[in-house]
Amino acid sequence: DELAKNIPIRKQGLVEKKENEIFILKKATVPAIIIEVGYMTNNNDMEFLSSPANRKAAAEGIYHGIMAAYKTLRTEDQH
């Protein structure tokens, strides 16, 4: 959600995958994420991500999302 606030690329939300498709996340022993900011095969996404300012906006959105998740995890650990 934080990333979607910062950039105009279409938000697809969580996408359900087949059970073993994302092995990295399935076997992670710590919180883990996969972030897809855009598709290089999509001309609009590629043009957007060509701009340093847009990449910075995406990075800031990712940062805010990670910090929000971290705060949630810390709150859950304290209970």
Mean pLDDT per 10-residue section of the chain, whose length is 79 residues: 71 58 74 84 91 94 91 80
Predicted confidence at residue 62, as pLDDT, reads 92
Predicted confidence at residue 46, as pLDDT, reads 92
Q: Are 49 and 37 in contact (CB under 8 A)?
A: yes
The gap between the terminal CA atoms of the chain, to the nearest Å, is 25
Q: Give the number of other Cβ atoms within 10 Å of residue 19's Cβ.
A: 6
CB-count burial class (<10 Å; 0-12, 13-18, 19+) for 1? exposed
Name the residue among 16, 3, 2 with its Cα closest to residue 48.
3
Predicted confidence at residue 11, as pLDDT, reads 60
